Amino acid sequence: MRSSGYGDSAEWRGWFAIHDNLRRPGASAAMQGGRRVHGEVAFVTGSSRGIGRAIALELARRGADVAINCRTSLEQAQTVCAEVERLGRRAVLVTGDTRVPEDVERMMATVPSTLGDVYILVKNAAYANNAAYALLKPFLEFTVEEWRSQLEHKALVFSFFTLGGI
């Protein structure tokens, strides 16, 4: 059966099943079991739609409270927050650009003060150009600017969150 796209929850449940063997030191007993993240706090960047939305909702199904992030898709992000809350979990919406250190600092202050310490960080935010993800283009069609943006979203963002203590 063909996947219905990036938001296909069944597809992401499968991804979680494959990666359930990953453990982190000091994780709760529920997390060590590899099937639940009950009571943990997750922060998913770029979670207003697509893959990020699917991951955020799956984390909520597994019992995590979730920080939803978007840069511009506010209405979609609010919908995801409502879906997380319908699953019986807490959600907070934090807007900001993960490439901007001041935005990251503000988000890193907001999430712990609202939900608690972040133990799961999913850096999913990606550069979108004309509503199409740049990574869906053929490799040889990437522009220098698209490569720079991808590096900012993936590599540089890692240092912002790591240096900030998440």
Give the E-state strand segments of 11-164 in sequence order: 41-44, 65-70, 91-95, 120-122, 128-129, 132-133
Q: Is residue 53 part of a domain?
A: yes
Q: Is residue 46 part of a domain?
A: yes
Q: What are the backbone angles phi and psi of residue 125, rounded to the nearest 5°?
A: -55, 140
- The total domain count for the chain is 1
Q: Is residue 15 part of a domain?
A: yes
pLDDT, tens only, 46-69? 899 888 999 999 999 999 999 999
CATH number at residue 73: 3.40.50.720
**For position 56, what pLDDT does the model report?**
96
Q: Is residue 152 part of a domain?
A: no
Closest residue by Cα to residue 87 from 55, 46, 59, 114:
59
pLDDT, tens only, 114-163? 999 988 888 887 765 533 455 567 778 878 887 777 776 666 666 666 66
